[in-house]
Amino acid sequence: MHYLFTSESVSEGHPDKVSDQISDALLDQFLAFDADSKVAIETLVTTGQVVVAGEVKSKTYVDVQEVARKVINDIGYTKAAYRFDGDSCGVLTAIHEQSADINRGVDKQDKDDQGAGDQGMMFGYACKDTDNYMPLTLELSHLILLELADIRREEKTMTYLRPDAKSQVTVEYNEANEPVKIHTIVVSTQHDEFDADEPMLAKIKEDVINILIPRVVAKLPERVQKLFGNDIIYHVNPTGKFVIGGPHGDTGLTGRKIIVDTYGGRGAHGGGAFSGKDPSKVDRSAAYASRHIAKNLVAAGVADEVLVQLAYAIGVAQPVGVFVNTYGRSNVNIGDAEIAEKVKAIFDLRPSAIEKRLALRNPIYLETAAYGHMGRTPSTVTKTFESPYFGKVEKEVELFTWEKLDFVNPIKEAFGI
């Protein structure tokens, strides 16, 4: 029997994502000048106000106000009419030093024995829905908002758009867990008040269906384009007008969109957020490592769908558990427990090894803080950071290293594929 599955995404201007981006921009600034920085930063945004709090151990100093204001302006909150903009909002800082009790379990004389920065379980997931091994529902939800942001910045069509937006996509799947059609698309976008309510809402819906969606579809592979029929159900700004939005309309907090950040409800989630945390926190680094493992397992042909769980105890280097679930879609003649044993033999899962393998002690995190941490395209870029106290540094860094398919051959060899 066919079934429906749904995922959502939120734009870079959503208040929770504003918070995530500020937290990760601050993390990048610390790492750019001190790669050994220990950082755990939370951000709250509301009407005209930013509050940054957390724990940091670092040799450098960061101008929190300057970094936060640049992020807010870059997102597009640049007008007083939004009741939240980068030039005029207040920025309150409450950052103190990392607990020595935590640090003693993480920093070891031999860096290879570095302990996990916290206890917990992290999950990685991959499937064959899309070319990047992500669930189609989430992939489309992200793409809709990325395209909407491009349209907003072009200022040629849909010139009424404001930064806050949400999307949701429902896909119909068959018994083999293959997508067969796009069932429902929901788009809620903040906008200027440019007409009476009824014609204004009609215009926005018309533009979403006739401008936004065709641009999204044009960027998709042919096999996904075929899933867009003429019977898609559209809900565009279903509550009515959406003029009041962003941090003025809803308080934002770091780490409140963890399902958007990962797999859109597919697989599982251990509950730990990512943004604002340096890679000694396995909430982040082990989640990236488990995605790296899952994606390479599917790409190597071990299974058509894989969930990987890693679990850690604070201060302990080796994971306390490694779990694999192939949902009955394995392509090898061994059980999931044996697959997990092979994973442990192929991948060094100590936090220090994960940091090195994925090059996580670099300022690579702002780019992860909107439109998903998983399923992105790895790339090498040069980033420039400036400090009033430590000058200017340029760093060539590799983004989204956990999305690389660099372990396919070792996996094939280990599994005899």
Cβ pair 194, 160 in contact under 8 A: yes
pLDDT at 115: 73
What class has domain 3-8+136-244? Answer: alpha beta
The reply, when asked if residue 123 is annotated as ligand binding, is no
Task: Indicate the helix (H) or strand (E) that contains 56.
Answer: strand 49-57
Phi, psi dihedrals of residue 396, rounded to the nearest 5°:
-90, 120
Q: What gap in Å lies between CA 114 and CA 314, rounded to an integer?
A: 10
Cβ pair 67, 29 in contact under 8 A: yes
Q: What is the mean pLDDT of residues 255-269?
A: 97
Q: What is the mean pLDDT of residues 322-326?
A: 98
The reply, when asked if residue 295 is annotated as ligand binding, is no
The reply, when asked if residue 17 is annotated as ligand binding, is no
pLDDT at 109: 55
Give the pLDDT confidence of 18-71 residue by residue, as tens digits: 999 999 999 999 999 999 999 999 999 999 999 999 999 999 999 999 999 999
pLDDT at 135: 98
pLDDT at 376: 98
pLDDT at 57: 94
pLDDT at 117: 73
The reply, when asked if residue 337 is annotated as ligand binding, is no
Average pLDDT taken over every residue of the chain: 94
Give the pLDDT confidence of 80-116 residue by residue, as tens digits: 889 999 999 999 999 998 655 455 555 555 566 677 8
Give the pLDDT confidence of 157-208 residue by residue, as tens digits: 999 999 999 999 999 999 999 999 999 999 999 999 999 999 999 999 999 9
Q: Is the dihedral of CA 375, 17, 69, 51 positive or negative?
A: negative
pTM exceeds cut of 0.85:
yes
The reply, when asked if residue 142 is annotated as ligand binding, is no
Q: Which fold has domain 120-127+278-415?
A: GMP Synthetase; Chain A, domain 3 (3.30.300)
Q: What gap in Å lies between CA 368 and CA 400, rounded to an integer?
A: 8
pLDDT above 90 covers a percentage of the chain that reads 89
The answer to whether 3-8+136-244 and 120-127+278-415 have equal CATH topology is yes
Strands 38-46 and 49-57 turn out to be antiparallel
The reply, when asked if residue 277 is annotated as ligand binding, is yes
Q: What gap in Å lies between CA 211 and CA 121, rounded to an integer?
A: 42
187-202 burial code (b ≥16 CB/10 A, e <16) = bbbbbeeeeeeeebbe
pLDDT at 110: 54
The reply, when asked if residue 256 is annotated as ligand binding, is yes
Q: Which tokens belong to 253? A: 């907090």
Q: Is the dihedral of CA 280, 54, 51, 68 positive or negative?
A: negative
Q: What is the mean pLDDT of residues 291-303?
A: 98
Secondary structure tally for the chain: helices H, strands E: 13, 13
pLDDT band with cut points at 50, 70 and 90 for residue 387: confident
314-331 burial code (b ≥16 CB/10 A, e <16) = ebebebeebbbbbeebbe
The reply, when asked if residue 166 is annotated as ligand binding, is yes
The reply, when asked if residue 108 is annotated as ligand binding, is no
The reply, when asked if residue 250 is annotated as ligand binding, is yes
**Residue 266 zone, left/alpha/beta (φ > 0; ψ -120 to 50; rest):** beta
Domain ranges of the chain: 3-8+136-244, 120-127+278-415
Q: Is the pLDDT of residue 328 over 80?
A: yes
Q: What gap in Å lies between CA 47 and CA 83, rounded to an integer?
A: 6
For residue 308, count other CB atoms closer than 10 A to its CB: 28
